[in-house]
């Protein structure tokens, strides 16, 4: 998926790598001609051993032949150098463009994929570890792109090309280069395999240290309240110390391998010079050919050394990229089918038809749930904590799909509807309202980004939030702290209610939405709710029976099942659990 996004840029990067490799051979060849010319110039009476020089001589004017030959060769050398530099510039630009594109698109692709994953995935996965995977994975992808296209691939093209040319010029030098290249590759693979366990351990330690830091800062109030600063400092220091120890092992192994490879390439360089001198003595090589051999062999030796080193470094970044690739390979559990129906509008009729769902595929969170909400009705869900009320809301939002049964909206299974357009019909005020680090106005308008300021103010007024908002220094433009830490619990919930009101949904869901409000504020919200719910299907999860009394219909849950249904009056008379819940709630109100 990722490679396809950059295939055009990768293609052109490869094209320029090939061109630069060819120009890399052209430059030493022009140097060969220069030194062959020097031989002829120094001993003009002796016939040159270079076939090319002899051929060029016959093509030059008869007067000042050597000068004409020198001018022709030097002009060719200059043009070759210019073309080599120009192609190198284009190659550098192509991989730089690829690098910048990858740095831009990788985070976008990753976040886009993560936002499509189901709520179940995000509940199972540690948020800080996912952030660490993204951060280190994106950095690793950029670094790999840099190393592969600017360093490794050029060497991989250069090595076989240079070996072939060396074989043609002097088979012994070519054979020696081939052996050196094979040894270098084998050595790199060996080091890569032996260092892989250390790299995996280090990647795990990096994720662990990020998690510790993230949790310590995100729970700073708790850390300071319990005086655990030193404890968190020790945890972070311990994790970083383990990283340093593993890093030291890797660096030591890499340095030892580099030292041995350096010695081997130096010996190889001396052997190339010896073979060249023997060829020069036997007159099987010209001076220019010897110079070209030395240049190519030196370049080949450096390429082998660079390739083995880059291969080891790539292995290091590969371990950081693997967790990100695994994350991107995670298939979203909740998706819109290709044949999904676009939801233009809904009436709001809801039917839970024998719904069973389990988070872990073992103990059901809800079992055989059956009830119907008519369009425009207000239904209340009551029951002890853990009875499955919030799970039903999650299923209705299609954060999960039931394992058995179906949830129907206006007679259509949720699974055949387009996810985005269906959710656009819903508005929810959760017990814990999520607040973003933007202005209060932007937080309220989150579900309707094109809302006017007048609409935002009207929604906030209806939710009982306008007075506290305008009392802040910058009013609706006040920036709230991270996760809304600048707001009280009641203020957060009022903003959440205003957000839902502004969205103007067909189905409105209140999940303990007034739990953090005082009695007076709750009464105002209930009055607003009476106005807001007209013409809408409304689901309320509440322990406060003052809210439940207003419902048209009440569903009582216990131990993951529906145990009773009816009006408030019917349940008070006919259900013992409902009476007990009401008695306990009234007791809490009296104590408060």
Q: What percent of the chain has pLDDT over 70?
A: 85
What's the domain range around 360? 346-425+507-516+536-592
Residue 341 in any domain: the answer is no
Whether the pLDDT of residue 406 is over 90: the answer is yes
> What pLDDT is recorded for position 543?
67
What confidence category does residue 334 fall into, taking pLDDT thresholds of 50, 70 and 90? confident
> What pLDDT is recorded for position 45?
46
Collect contacts of 38-41 with beta carbons under 8 A, ≥24 apart.
38/287, 38/288, 39/286, 39/287, 39/288, 40/66, 40/69, 41/66, 41/70
Pairing of strands 537-541, 553-558: unpaired
pLDDT digits (tens, 9 = 90+) for 528-577: 667 677 778 989 887 667 777 778 889 998 888 999 888 888 888 878 88
Query: What's the mean per-residue pLDDT of the chain?
Result: 78
User: For residue 206, which of 136, 140, 141 has the smallest C-alpha distance?
Assistant: 136
pLDDT digits (tens, 9 = 90+) for 9-45: 777 777 877 787 777 777 777 777 777 776 666 555 4
Name, in order, each residue with C-beta under 8 angstroms of 429's C-beta and a sequence gap of 6 or more: 493, 496, 497, 499, 500, 509, 510, 511, 513
Query: How far apart (Å, rounded) are the C-alpha atoms in residues 63 and 67?
Result: 9
79 and 63: one domain?
yes
Whether the pLDDT of residue 6 is over 80: the answer is no
What confidence category does residue 412 fall into, taking pLDDT thresholds of 50, 70 and 90? very high
376 and 320: one domain?
no
447 and 485: one domain?
yes
Q: Which of 59-68, 85-94, 226-235, 391-400 has the lowest mean pLDDT?
A: 59-68
Per-range mean pLDDT, top range of 110-114, 149-153, 411-415: 411-415
Residue 531 in any domain: the answer is no
pLDDT digits (tens, 9 = 90+) for 371-402: 999 998 889 898 888 888 888 988 998 888 89
What confidence category does residue 357 fall into, taking pLDDT thresholds of 50, 70 and 90? very high
We report the CATH number of the domain holding residue 479 as 3.40.50.300
**Total structural domains within the chain:** 3
473 and 360: one domain?
no
Query: How far apart (Å, rounded) are the C-alpha atoms in residues 354 and 495?
Result: 35
Does this model's pTM top 0.95? My answer is no
Q: How many residues does the chain have?
A: 592
401 and 457: one domain?
no
10 and 105: one domain?
yes
> What pLDDT is recorded for position 57?
66
């Amino acid at each position: 998926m990722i490679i396809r996004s950059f295939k055009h840029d990768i293609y052109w990067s490869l094209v320029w790598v090939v061109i630069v490799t060819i120009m890399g051979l052209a430059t030493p060849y022009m140097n060969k001609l220069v030194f062959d010319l020097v031989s002829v110039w120094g001993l003009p009476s002796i016939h040159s051993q270079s076939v090319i020089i002899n051929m060029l001589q016959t093509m030059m004017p008869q007067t000042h032949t050597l000068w004409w030959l020198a001018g022709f060769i030097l002009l060719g050398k200059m043009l070759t150098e210019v073309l080599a530099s120009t192609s190198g510039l284009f190659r550098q630009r192509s991989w730089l463009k690829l690098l910048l594109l990858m740095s831009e698109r990788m985070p976008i692709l990753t976040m886009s994929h993560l936002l499509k994953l189901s709520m179940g995935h995000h509940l199972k996965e540690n948020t800080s570890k996912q952030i660490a995977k993204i951060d280190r994975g994106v950095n690793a992808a950029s670094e790999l792109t840099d190393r592969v296209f600017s360093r490794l691939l050029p060497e991989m093209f250069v090595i076989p090309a240079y070996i072939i040319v060396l074989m043609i010029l002097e088979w012994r030098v070519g054979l020696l280069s081939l052996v050196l290249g094979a040894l270098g590759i084998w050595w790199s693979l060996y080091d890569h395999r032996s260092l892989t366990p250390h790299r995996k351990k280090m990647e795990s330690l990096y994720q662990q240290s990020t998690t510790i830091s993230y949790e310590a800062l995100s729970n700073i109030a708790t850390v300071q309240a319990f005086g655990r600063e030193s404890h968190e400092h020790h945890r972070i220091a311990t994790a970083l110390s383990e990283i340093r120890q593993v890093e030291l092992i890797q660096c030591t192994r890499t340095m030892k391998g580099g030292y041995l490879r350096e010695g081997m390439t130096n010996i190889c360089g001396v052997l190339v010079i010896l073979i060249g001198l023997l060829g020069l003595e036997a007159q099987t090589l010209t001076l220019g050919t010897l110079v070209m051999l030395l240049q190519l062999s030196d370049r080949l030796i450096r390429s082998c050394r660079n390739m083995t080193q880059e291969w080891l470094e790539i292995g290091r970044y590969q371990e950081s990229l693997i967790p990100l690739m695994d994350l991107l390979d995670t298939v979203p559990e909740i998706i819109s089918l290709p044949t999904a129906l676009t939801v233009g509008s809904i009436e709001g009729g809801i039917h839970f038809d024998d719904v069973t769902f389990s988070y872990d595929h073992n103990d059901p969170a809800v079992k055989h749930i059956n009830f119907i909400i008519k369009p425009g009705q207000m239904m209340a869900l009551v029951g002890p904590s853990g009875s499955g009320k919030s799970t039903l809301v999650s299923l209705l939002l299609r954060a999960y799909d039931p394992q058995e049964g179906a949830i129907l909206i206006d007679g259509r299974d949720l699974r055949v509807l387009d996810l985005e357009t269906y959710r656009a019909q819903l508005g929810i005020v959760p017990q814990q309202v999520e607040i973003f680090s933007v202005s209060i106005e932007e937080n309220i308008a989150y579900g309707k980004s094109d809302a006017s300021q007048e609409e935002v103010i009207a929604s906030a007024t209806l939710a009982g939030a306008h007075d506290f908002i305008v009392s802040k220094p910058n009013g609706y433009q006040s920036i709230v702290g991270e996760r809304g830490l600048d707001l009280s619990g009641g203020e957060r919930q009022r903003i959440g209610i205003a957000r839902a009101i502004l969205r103007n949904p067909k189905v409105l869901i209140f999940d303990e939405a007034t739990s953090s409000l005082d009695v007076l504020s709750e009464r105002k919200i209930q009055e607003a709710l009476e106005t807001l719910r007209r013409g809408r299907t409304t689901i309320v999860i509440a322990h406060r029976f003052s809210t439940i009394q207003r419902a048209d219909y009440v569903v009582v849950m216990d131990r993951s099942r529906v145990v009773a249904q009816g009006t408030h009056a019917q349940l008070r008379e006919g259900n013992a659990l409902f009476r007990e819940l009401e008695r306990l709630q009234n007791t809490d109100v009296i104590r408060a």
